[in-house]
Structure 1
């Protein structure tokens, strides 16, 4: 199985298994967010809050300097989206969700069936307001070292 896909699937399963996280976002954790056509433009067709998977970067990593172990350093982004009244109005809800994502995946023992996860660590979290002036956006980055088969 392709390592980035297998890692994302394991991360998705871990996020869905977090009762605290699903209490806030439910099942709204997406690879590609559902869309609808509005005024000729594709826009998200999902209620706030939700989580989506963002960009992925892969760097080959020859861990032992020989040809014995093939591995990849995979950096991936998870995005949090929140808007509306109450905790969603400011950035509190986005911060809560981002914190739960970090807690769930930082140093997690994610099970990969084809490849082997060596480590996964939280690299950064950014909370910002999108250009629409309404949407709170959390960006959470992780880096994983995966031995590939």
Structure 2
């Protein structure tokens, strides 16, 4: 299985199981949000995977983005959701069925305002070993 896809599924599952996250967005945590989804919600953003095979060990480094969205008139709502996401994933060691996560770390969070929409772009990096 694709390492980033498997990690993405684990992240979605983790966020949907965390009371601190669901208290703010309910179960509105999506791979791709449906048309007309009400805000606030969380979705998976872009990612990438760089192969770093060494000797007989196959794997690489993944970057995956978790996006938080709000249409509130102030940034505080999206900042609260982003904080809940970071708390839910802090110290978490994702367990995958096919691949193995060696490290999973928060890299950075950016806050973006675009007219009526507020976004938090939270990026994580992971070192993943493939079978």
Q: Per the shorter chain, which TM-score range?
A: over 0.9
Q: Distance in 1 between matches of 2:92 and 2:28?
A: 21
- The runs of at least 4 aligned residues of structure 1 exceeding 3 Å deviation read none
1:18-70 Cα distance to aligned partner (Å, 9 max, x none): 101001101111111112xxxxxxxxx111100110101100123xx41x211
Residue 13 (structure 1) aligned with residue 4 (structure 2): no
Residue 92 (structure 1) aligned with residue 76 (structure 2): yes
Q: CA RMSD in A?
A: 1.1
Which residue number in structure 2 is paired with residue 38 of structure 1?
none
Shift of 1:104: 1.6
Unpaired runs of 5+ residues, structure 2, are none
Change in Cα spacing, 1:51 to 1:89, as seen in structure 2 (3 Å) is: same
Q: TM-score, normalised by structure 2?
A: 0.95
- The count of residues paired between Structure 1 and Structure 2 equals 131
Q: TM-score, normalised by structure 1?
A: 0.84
Q: Distance in 2 between matches of 1:107 and 1:146?
A: 16
Unpaired runs of 5+ residues, structure 1, are 36-44
